[in-house]
Structure formats: structure tokens, C-alpha cells
Structure 1
Amino acid sequence: MSSDYYKDIKHSDRKRWICIYPAYLNSKKTRAEGRKVPLAKAVDTPTVQEMRDVLQASNVTIGIERSFYSRERSKEPQYFGRVRVHLKNDDGTPLNPEFPTRDSVLLHLGEMIPKLKTRTQQKQNTEQQASQSAAASSSKKKGKGRR
């Protein structure tokens, strides 16, 4: 899918890097709303910071840009931004053999974001709060009710 528009621009130029918006990985979105990965691989409300952390840990050259996804209805700060990923050398060969295509990067993000420390700590905190509230509610005495 080589275009004449990009003929004079090298792959190393930032314009040629791929763009990844959080909506591409959001499990709460439909395909029509912009999700690009299968629902099984999607993540619950990913952020640009989480995507940045995963890609930096994978030794991929990235850039963060302040831009809105056109299909995003909410203008909240958590949905703001996109990540640009340097995918190919100037000769067109993959820069990192682990990530030859855009889809491979998206699937890697969908796999690794749930494993982030911030995500696992949030789950543990919510589970502890739920168990504490369940224990507190079970210790209350129940009335006789209606007769």
C-alpha cells in the first residue's frame, strides 16, 4: 500500500511513524467506534501513559503527541493523546523483528497493559475493599422483618 505521497519521505521521518490511539485497544468500544483489536485482546480503558510504559520497556522508539481521536466522543483528559511508533528502517525492513506490523504492536499492547504494576495494584485494592465491605455487611444483625 505504498502511496506517491510518501514516496519522498523516509521511514525514519516522524510523519511515517504509525499512530496508536487508546481507543484502538479499548474493550468498551465497538469496532465501529474505533477498536482495532479483537475483544479478547482489548483492554479496559487504556491510557497513553500505559501504552508509553509498555513500548518503552519493549525498546521501541516512540513519540507522544497531544491529539484527539476523531471518533472519541468524550473530551476528557484521559482519552487525550496518541503514541507514534517508529516501525521500519529507511529501506522498509522492520526496525524490531518482534514488531513487523502495526497489528503486532497493537496485540503486544493488549497483552502487556493488563500486566502493568499499576493495573495489578488497582485490582488488588478493589478486591480488598470488596472483601472488607462484604465482611462488614455480614456482621450486621438482621431484624425480624415483617410478620
Structure 2
Amino acid sequence: VAMAAAVAASPADKERFICIYPAYLNNKKTIAEGRRIPIDKAVENPTSTEIQDVCAAVGFNVLLEKNKMYPREWNRDVQYRGRVRIQLKQDDGNPCLPQFPTRKSVMLYAAETIPKLKTRTQKMGGSDQSLQQGEGGKKGKGKKKK
């Protein structure tokens, strides 16, 4: 029995992966509703798929659990469903990716990267588009002209 317990406690075990719910990164939520990062760094209504995409892209071992719900989420719509499990540490307890030692660092990274996803930049018409151009678009345009 002791052996089985030790196996389950290994950070490489799926049970030990950290959970990230979209609510943690949602700038539409308050801290009481489950947001875990500063509102200026949070994203508008992130989905579990988006979190999975950005984390997998950076090299994490990622698991998407589509039907899991964040307990404090009252909205049962599909877009609010799902959570992402990420292997943060290896068997020996060291971070899998040295640039992400904590779950907070992963959340901040995901929130920072999700707005840059192609699905986000193309779909969002109107106000969001102009925002993005204001920030980073100008540099790119200048280079293209030359």
C-alpha cells in the first residue's frame, strides 16, 4: 500500500498535475469568483482549449479535461467548461520547464499568450483589433514597407 501511495504522489502522475481553470485567467471575474492573476494581466473569457494550446506549444505535458467544471462557475455553457491539467514538475520535483517554477507563472504565461493566438486575432473584429494594432502592429507595418 505504501508503494502505491508513493506512486500517486509523484509529480509526473496525472493526479498530481496542476489544474488550471479558465476562471483563473478571466478578466471578467473577480477574485471571489475565482480569478487568480491581476486583472490587467487577465484575458477576456479564455477557454480551456486556448489554455491547452498555449501550454502545449511551450512544451508542457498537458491534459484537457473537457467536462470538468470550475466549482464556482455558475454558467454551465460549454465555453465555460473544461480545465487543463499541466505537469509542472518532474519525478524528482524539479520544474519540467525551468522558466515555469510555479503554477502562477504558468497562469500568467497563458494569460499573456492567449490574446496572441491566431483564433483570437482573426475572430475578434472591432475594438479588440484596433487595440492590438495600437500596441504591436505599428512596428510590423513599418518593417513591411521597407
Question: What amino acid is aligned across from residue 39 of structure 1 in structure 2?
Answer: I
State the shift of 1:75 in Å.
0.4
| Aligned partners of 2:27 and 2:43 also within 8 Å | yes
Rounded Cα–Cα distance in structure 2 between residues aligned with 1:6 and 1:69: 28
SS of 1:24 mapped into structure 2 = helix
Question: What amino acid is aligned across from residue 96 of structure 2 in structure 1?
Answer: L
> RMSD of the alignment, in Å?
1.7
Structure 2 matches for 1:9-20, cutoff 5 A?
Answer: 9-20=9-20
Match in the other structure for 2:113: 112
Match in the other structure for 1:133: none
SS of 1:39 mapped into structure 2 = coil
Match in the other structure for 1:132: none
Q: What TM-score comes out, normalization by structure 1 length?
A: 0.78
In the alignment, structure 1 segments of 5+ residues that lack a partner are 129-147
Structure 2 matches for 1:20-39, cutoff 5 A?
Answer: 20-39=20-39
Question: What amino acid is aligned across from residue 127 of structure 1 in structure 2?
Answer: G
Question: What amino acid is aligned across from residue 108 of structure 1 in structure 2?
Answer: Y
Q: Give deviations 1:21-59, integer Å, cap 9, x for gaps.
A: 000000000000000010010000000111111111101
Structure 2 matches for 1:76-95, cutoff 5 A?
Answer: 76-95=77-96
Q: How many residues align?
A: 122
In the alignment, structure 2 segments of 5+ residues that lack a partner are 128-146
Q: Which structure shows the higher helix fraction?
A: 2
1:53 partnered with 2:53: yes
- Runs of 4+, deviation exceeding 2 Å: 5-8
Match in the other structure for 2:126: 127
Kindly name which structure, 1 or 2, has the bigger radius of gyration based on alpha carbons: 1
State the shift of 1:127 in Å.
2.5
Match in the other structure for 1:71: 72
Q: Identity, % of aligned pairs? A: 51
